[in-house]
Structure formats: C-alpha cells, structure tokens
Amino acid sequence: MPPERVETDLYLGFRWKSATPLAGLAFESWRDSIRQLAEAGALFVARGYYFADEAEDEALARELAAQRIGQSLEYLQLPSRSVAREVLPQQVMADVRSIVFEAFQLEAIDSNDLVVQRGDTMEVCFPLKDTLRLAAFSKNRLEQWAQQTPPDSRIQVVGIADATGIAEAADIAYERAEIVKNILIKVGKAPGQISLSAGQRSQSNPLRNRCVIIYIEDEMR
C-alpha cells in the first residue's frame, strides 16, 4: 500500500513536486482489477505526468514523472517486462500546488491487439506514439514466427504510421520497418530476402495505426 491515504476519488494521487503516490478511496479495488488483467496476459502503458514548474528544468521535471511511474508500479506489483512507460507534460491547473492531483495513468492493452497472426502474415504493433520500441511480448512472437517460415522465402515488411490528424511523421513508418528487419536478420534471415516499404493508416484504434506488417511473398529462386 502507498504510505498515505487521501480522501479523493483518484486511484492514486500526488502532491506538488512529490513522486510519492497517495492512495485514493478506490485504490484497492483498482489494484486488484489491474492484477487480474495482468494474470490474464494483458500488457500495459504506464503514463507519468509532470508540470513544467515542478522542477528547475524540463529534464528534472521529466525525471519526477518517471519516478511517479516507478513508485506507482511498485505498489501495483506489475512486472516491468509487461509495461511500456511514457512521460508526458500537463497544463498547470488552478490551485494545483495545494491539491492532490492525478499524475499517473495506466492503460491495459490486450496482447491480441499487439500481435495479429494470420497464416504467413504477421502484424506487430508499437504501444506508444512516436516510438520505435516493440514490447518484449511482440518481439518474442515475431522471432518465433520468423523461425518457422521457409528458409528461402522472400519477406515483405511494411511499416505503418498513425495518420489520424497527422499524429505521426511518415518517416517513422519506415524506421519501424527497419527495426523489424533487424530482428529478422538476427534470427537468420538474409538481408537480401527482406524488402521494406512504408505507409500510413487511419483506423479508429490508434494502436492499429502504429504497426509493421510482415508477410511471405514467395520462395526465392
């Protein structure tokens, strides 16, 4: 349990310039529901927030947000391998220096949304916007799939960026494809077997717009 309880509807709250989580009224029930999701195989995106005025410079403010994530996850007892972390700024609110405020959020992601496999086609998605980091779960599944493909097959790798409201630069799609290409090479595929391309997508679920599609084209002759 966090060391202090507060009368708030927030699951976890924080005070100005502090990284110590405060337990709200519904903390226990929320914690138990998170643990149940983790036991069912869910992955999580943990977001820590900071106000620019909480530290002398932005680097220290971001470190404060990172500490908020770390301490919150300790109380939830989630394994680090199942969590992607994201540090974000937030706008200063009225009286924020004297109230308990929200500075940590946790989003559960079904592992089936991160990796979709249909026969000789696989799609792996990146949990965070503007990131080139694959979840460990996704990387492991990709490696297993690649090892089961015909050794001389041609592989098409198509990187996707989020085009909803120009959420991501198109260049990141190609960089994601290169990340996947390097994973394929590490498991034994030759660079000449792999072709790269890139595009954008605008599905309603942002996660589906941050993916790489990998499929077998044919066997090399």
Could you give all domains of the chain from N- to C-terminal order, each with its CATH number?
12-109 (3.30.1330.60), 112-219 (3.30.1330.60)
Q: Model's pTM, two decimal places?
A: 0.75
Residue type, 14: F
Question: What is the model's pLDDT at position 79?
Answer: 78
pLDDT of residue 218: 67
Q: Are 24 and 63 in contact (CB under 8 A)?
A: no
Q: Residue 103: how many CB atoms within 10 A of its CB?
A: 27
Amino acid at 10: L
Residues 129-172: pLDDT tens digits?
888 888 888 899 999 999 999 888 999 999 999 998 878 888 99
Both tokens of 193, joined, read 């077997």
The answer on pLDDT for 221 being more than 80 is no
Per-residue confidence band for 57, with pLDDT thresholds at 50, 70 and 90: very high
Closest CA to 13 of 95, 86, 105, 94: 105
- CB-CB contact of 129 with 45 (8 Å): no
Q: Does the pLDDT at position 1 exceed 80?
A: no
CA angle 117, 192, 143 (to 5 degrees): 30
